[in-house]
Structure 1
Amino acid sequence: MQTTRRAFIAAVLVAASAIVMGAQTRATEPAKPPLAETEWTLSQIEGETPLEGRGLDLSFDENGRFGTSAGCNRFMGDVEIEGEEITFPDKIAGTMMACPEGLAEQEEKVLSLLAQVTRYQMEPDALILLDSEGSELLRYSREVEDDSLVETSG
């Protein structure tokens, strides 16, 4: 009886240790930033619909980098995200293609607005970039899959 009781207590202690160690391991793993590995499509520039162009997008990778296009050239650089705060760098790398009329101005506008962004709000289907006053500068969207609808055949 004494041996069975000791074995039971030892098993409980081993299980408790495993749970604590597992929780500590998860707690020390770096959290993936909320925007990491997301892609968005530009839907509004200061409330206005953007001109059509190639790749009206904004994407983030898991290493703190972003890529974007406002319809013509591609730009990329590091992005700093902490909580709801986000800042894009003053210096970014980009292509230098000649852009059709209107897209060059749109591109300059988007890059200028990105430099003013200090915060963001994320919704399931929208990423809203705001300035320090809380004004919406840029809005990006994405399609969200709705898994709640299940199709049945009858």
Structure 2
Amino acid sequence: MSPGILSPDGRQQFRATKTLELPAGPDQPAFNIVLTMVTDTGTNVAVPRRISGVAWTVTEVFGQAWPNDDPATLMIDDEMNVSAFGGCNRFRGQMQPSGLGLAFLENIAGTMMACPYEIEAQERRFLAALAQVSDYVRYGAGLVMTDFDGRTVLHFVETPE
């Protein structure tokens, strides 16, 4: 395995701890690496997994980059209430613990704005991806939500204030 990811001053920040075999996609190699944060003492530590209280902006849905300058957003509070913007409409709902980590309830309430077809289609993809979420990985300012099989369905970054 590789030595990991180094900081600008050459210190190791992350170490590859496990390699997962994933099938190749169109024009994509078949691999995935799990990284563990390394402290100044060289020991492995868990990366914080808290995702509530952070405003998240979507960058990818089902592996495709968000196509316009008005991306979907997601906010989860400490009671697992969810508010989201899908590109045109706003949504509210709740998450619940699942066997792997979490799940979004299917009965999400939302506004019903008249949206251009392209934006509405992207919003439907975003909601379909949320419905498939069963776990997540938080890394620094990023958040990856995965389905039951561990495939990435959504990728977010923290929204700057």
Give the Cα–Cα distance (whole angstroms) in 1 for the partners of residues 118 and 145 of structure 2.
Answer: 22
Please report how far the alpha carbon of residue 49 of structure 1 lies from its aligned counterpart in structure 2 after TM superposition. Answer: 1.0
Q: Is residue 51 of structure 1 aligned with residue 67 of structure 2? A: yes
Shift of 1:38: 1.1
1:43–1:106 CA distance, 2 compared to 1 (3 A):
same
Please report how far the alpha carbon of residue 126 of structure 1 lies from its aligned counterpart in structure 2 after TM superposition. 0.8
Superposed displacement of residue 82, structure 1: 6.6
1:36 corresponds to 2:52: yes
C-alpha deviation, 1:51, in angstroms: 2.4
As a proportion of its length, which structure holds more strand?
Answer: 2
**Aligned residues of 2:145 and 2:155 also touching (Cα < 8 A):** yes
**C-alpha spacing 1:37/1:84, structure 2 compared with 1 (3 Å):** farther
2:124 matches 1:111: no
Contact 1:60–1:67, Cα closer than 8 Å, also in 2: yes
Contact 1:42 1:141 in 2 (8 A): yes
User: What residue is the counterpart of 2:81 in the other structure?
Assistant: 65
Structure 1 residues without counterparts, runs of 5 or longer: 1-32, 145-154
> Aligned in 2, Cα 1:96/1:37: closer, same or farther, shift over 3 Å?
same
The structure with the larger Rg is 1
Q: Which has the higher helix share?
A: 1
**In the comparison of the two structures, how many residue pairs are matched?**
113
The two structures have a TM-score, normalised by structure 2, of 0.63
The answer for unaligned runs of 5 or more in structure 2 is 1-48
> Structure 1 residues 85, 62: CA separation in 2 closer, same or farther (over 3 Å shift)?
same
Match of 2:149 among 130, 133, 142: 133
Residue 86 of structure 2 aligns to a residue whose secondary structure is strand
Runs of 4+ in 1 over 3 A off after TM superposition: 81-84
Identity across the alignment (%): 30
